[in-house]
Structure formats: C-alpha cells, structure tokens
Amino acid sequence: MLRSDSPSPTRSPADDPEASSSAPLRREAGCSPTQVDNVSVQASGPVQKGGGTATDDSSRQESARLGIRPASEPRMYDGRFLAAYLSNTCLLIAVGFLFRYADFVKALGGNEASLGWITGIGTSGAVVMRLIQGNAIDRFGARWIWLLAMLGYTAAVAAHLLINSVNGPWIYITSLLMSGFLSGAFGASITHVSLRAPRHRVTEILGTLGSSGFVGMALGPALGDVIFGWGLAEGQELDAAMRLAAVRRLFVGAIIFGLISTLLVFVATWGEAPRKRLRKKRPATWLLLRRYHPGRLLLVAVAMGAGIGLIQVFVRPFSEHLGVANLRVFFLTYAATAFTIRMTTRTWYASMGERRMIFVGLGALALAMFAFVTVQSEWGLLIPAFIAGFAHALLFPSVVSTGCAAFPVRYRGLASTLVLACFDIGNLIGRPACGQLVTLARQWGYDGFDVMFTGAGLALATVILIFAWPPRGIVGRPQPRRRRRAAIDSATA
C-alpha cells in the first residue's frame, strides 16, 4: 500500500524493510544487541515476528502518560542532559539579544523591506547547512557538528561588529553565516538528545529540551532591553550612531553567551563514543527522502517556521510602530506561557497523539496572527503573546517527533534535519514576503502591519485545511505497491 501523506507515529515491520532485519542493522551500526544508533530498544520480553518485542505499545503509552519509567529503559535526564539544557538556554539568550536585529538594520539606514530581505536571505544559509548537516550527523555523530556549529555561530555574531552599512554584500553574508551555524547547532542538539530516548519518549525529551529555549527567550530580550538602554535616559530619542552603539553592546553580550554555550556542549558530549562507520554504502539521500518523507507534515513545518519567524523578526518594528520601547512584556509572557504549557503537556503526546497536538498548535498560531491586529498598546501585546506561546509549545516537539518517526533510527540525523530545513524554508519565504507586504501596504494607504498579520493568519488557516484533508491511505480502496517502491526498498535495505 502507498504511504500516507501524513505520517504515522510508528512504522510496522511489514511496511519497513529496514525494521524487519534488526540484527543486520545492529551489526551495521556497530551497536550492542539492545541498541541501534545509541537509541535503546526494549528487549525485556520474547521477540515477536518482525523484530519487535512482546512489550505492549498500549502499556508503554500508559506508562509514559503516568510518568513511569520501565526498568528496561535508560535514564534520560542526567548530568549530560542538564549540560545540554543549559547550553541551549545560553544559546537562546544570545538569540534573544538579537531580537533587536531590526534596530541594527535601522541604524545602518534600512527599513522593514531591507530587514525582511536581509534576514530572509540569511535564512538560506540555514537551508544550505541542513543539506550538509543531515548526512554529516549520521556519518560522524552529533558531537563534532554541534561544537563546530557553536564556534561558527559565535564567530558570525562577532563579524557583525565590523558591519557599517546596510548596502553591499557583507551584512547579507554575515547574516547567512549566523543563520546557518545557528541551524546547525539546533539540529545537532536535537539529534543528540533524541538519540538518548526510546521511540515512544522522543517527543517528551524534545519537549523538555525545547523548554530551555523558552527560558532563554524570556531572559534574552529582558537582558537585551537593559543592555540596549544602558546609559540612556527613559524615552530618549536615538540617532543612528547611538542606536548602532547600543546594538553592538548586544552583539558583545551574544558572543559571551555563545562561548558559554560552547563550553557546555563539551560537558554534554564528553566521553561520547565516536560513531562507527557503516559497513554498507549509504543509499543516496534523495532515495531516502523519497522513501521516508513524511508528506504534508513538511508543509506544516514550513508554515510553522514562517509564523514563528515572523514573530521573532517583526514584533520589534511592530512595537515601535505602536510607540512601545521595550520587548520584555511580550517575550516574558510568550516564554512563560510556552514553558508552562510545554512542561505540563510533555507526556500528553503518548495518549493524545502528535497529529491532534499539531492541529491545536497550528490553529493557535493562526489565531495569534489575527490577535496582533487588535493590539493598540504595550499591554495589549499580552493576548497574542499568550496565544503564540501556547502554539509554539505544542507545535515544535510534535512536528519534529512525527517527522523523525517516518525514518529508521539510523537516519535520525537526516530526519530531524529535513523537518528543521522546512522551518528554515518558511523563514526564507515568509520574512521577505512580510517585509515587502508591510512596505507595499503603506504605499497603498493601509496599515502595513495589520495587512501582514491578517495575511499570515489566512495562510496558516489554509495550511490547516490542507493538512486536515484525508490522506490517500485512508479514503478509497487500497492501492497496490508500485514497482518503483520495491526498487527503493531494495536500495535502502
């Protein structure tokens, strides 16, 4: 039967030729009989047909829902996870400082359209990094990719201190490098942490790691407001030179937290065994993507990336448009809501299913866009901040986990990279489009930000309808396996 357009959280051995021969896979990956690519599989009961175990899926889901860890499962939350959590927190604090990137562009003479193009083209670096990173993680392991990406990100932030004009290629190049290395750090950390968990707890551990991002998102903009306003009078008008000096202080702060994050990566990955080379030649990436791609979930990932990227880049010029000087009210509310929801619902995915959580999260993100249109003051930002934080908390782990479930475990690096690349494609498309929309709407006599947020909300609503359409595998009669699928199976076996 043909694959469904929307992925199933699990794959049966009959549908996956790679899962039906578990012993060769273990030998191929160089793992012990109870591990595949450092991910523990339960072997407490007699082996069933197809390489599975006698452990009932429903009992595992019930244990996950109740927060009970079976004795056969490895300990996920230890000192190394704490180091990874703190590393991610420091990285997001650095990213939070740069939520004022719009001030940097404005100080150099740019506008909203320039901001959209600079950050959008910069995101293409993230897409390129994803193309390289997926295979690199699967071949060499997440540790070295994570360390190199963190060092590269810190160097790219430092390079912004040398930029003095919005015209010319250098601001685009530095933005491209910064986005590319940032995406590399995120992808490697997600892969590293996901490989510490059994399949039915991957969403949980990704959600827990993701909560560190909300802590960083809360602290980063708040500290950024303090650093930006250091030595300035309340409500003081800033000329270009003063604004540029204030933003450069933020870049220095981001460099410091980037270095701290890099040191914590060493701690989180210390003593990690190097990845063993596969004896078999790895199939071509396009064959793997054709065989295992998660269908319309990729469109959801693109929409999510565009929606969340819009908030991170355009809330600053939107708040300035309203006469709001600080970002702390919005991002503290956003982060506090997202952290609370993430920690409260981290074990719900096993009982409710990722697909339902995706629908709820995507609907909330669309509602947040429409809520921005009603904002008239600083405190009015609380409503869209709460809704957007709720959406972010539900969407990210469910989308990433569902995308990873479509791939065999030893291709987890490629799987997470594919989903994150779709996030970046959403930014690549959304940020320039939103910047141009604001500029054009003003030229036509409309409120540019109202038009932008309304358009984004309608686009997200359309994606919800597309994702809700019944997949091919559910409606109609079963379709026979096609010959080309057999060829792909034999190539990836």
- Three-state SS letters, 427-452: HHHHHHHHHHHHHHHHHCCCCHHHHH
**Structural tokens at position 234:** 């309340």
Domains of the chain: residue spans and CATH: 79-271+284-468 (1.20.1250.20)
Top mean-pLDDT range of 95-109, 116-130, 403-417? 95-109
Mean pLDDT of 357-380: 92
The DSSP secondary structure of 128-175, one letter per residue, reads: HHHHHHHHHHHHH-HHHHHHHHHHHHHHHHHHGGG---SSSSHHHHHH
Q: Quick check: 35 pLDDT over 50?
A: no
Mean pLDDT of 464-486: 56
The pLDDT value recorded for residue 102 is 86
The pLDDT value recorded for residue 180 is 86
pLDDT tens for each residue of 161-172: 999 988 888 999
The pLDDT value recorded for residue 73 is 55
pLDDT-based confidence at residue 450 (cuts at 50, 70, 90): very high
Does residue 468 contact residue 297 with C-beta atoms inside 8 Å?
no
pTM of the model: 0.64
Segment holding 64, helix H or strand E: helix 57-66
Mean pLDDT of the residues in the chain: 76
Q: Quick check: 313 pLDDT over 80?
A: yes
- Which residue from 398, 403, 408, 312 is spatially nearest to 359, judged by alpha carbons? 398
The pLDDT value recorded for residue 349 is 67
Strands 39-40 and 35-36 turn out to be antiparallel
The pLDDT value recorded for residue 489 is 44
Q: Quick check: 483 pLDDT over 50?
A: no
CA 80, CA 22: separation in Å to the nearest integer?
A: 28
